[in-house]
Structure 1
């Protein structure tokens, strides 16, 4: 695969200003999603793009030599495919090193959580109470990833597997259900991904939580299905 030549700016101020995760998100947003600099300033760096004008994410990318020619160059690739291609190219060691600061599995887990939040039109947290468009709970992407490592990606209620139906787009995707509803927690608690979390498909997850006053257990939902 041909990649444009890198043109590092040598200016490191914006690059050093932000976290490993934010740099990772900006690089992925540019190479894979083709986001504008303004979009990335808002989405990943938490800035008002009317004020920042996209210069912060631009600074991160330009420090690494990722100019306009790289926008969407890996569109349609998986993260793993992009990593392998970058590793095979000479001169991309710095970019690969930055990306390796973040675990792919954990990044995917965070993206899945964001997708669920976007569908509901708000932000969902787990354990530690916060007020953000109402009382929500702080979720931990590492717990989600570990639960999937323990239990797999088949729905524990109905057996549904997203990859078998949707192919590559559904690979490694599943929602994670807390056996003790988060809304019942009075304070932050330690969550054991092996015993407190289970994988469930979107339909089963909705049915479990459909009535706030009667959250079902997985066994109860299975019984509902058997009684049909």
Structure 2
């Protein structure tokens, strides 16, 4: 099942095609579809894959048009919804600069309108169509100074990546072996953390997660110990520590 409902996109212009391509990138690279993006981030992602398919001026204009309200477009949710009016006015101006957004809107916080998320992926009743809340905007501002850590957290909570990791490894902790349901009963059924093992310095804004090689299921206690210090220890290293402390013997 696709994360997004592409049938709602008319594909009547290049701007619509770019938005569809952006959604496909989010799916293909397993980016959390509820993430808050900078407009600059979206430009980087699209330029990497789509730029060569268009004339440079056409790509730049179509990119701006994605955020405007022409033809009833409502692809993104803004903190300040007047930003959509700004993009619309700029795009309708024949003397426009196709990179005008870089001066005023590059760091604007947006998220994908939940209208375009397939039914059953999220509860639409819990996803308002209005502007970003103050809490979401504050969260966005806070992550700017710790961007890599937030990217890690976003991928860890990505449902597709999480499900594939657990499907492959199961629900037992990769470090201590505990199955939480066996200890806590029904309340802990299917509950496990998913740890991202790829080093933070290797992660950037267009990183693609591999659920098998990059993720491991771990219990909350082991997860906390792994990240207790600045330089996280490996899952296998923690497993050796647990065995060593339980048996008093070094693991070979």
TM range (shorter): 0.3 to 0.5
TM-score (norm 1): 0.44
Larger CA Rg, structure 1 vs 2: 2
TM-score (norm 2): 0.40
Q: Which one has more relative contact order, counting CA pairs under 8 Å at least 6 apart? A: 2
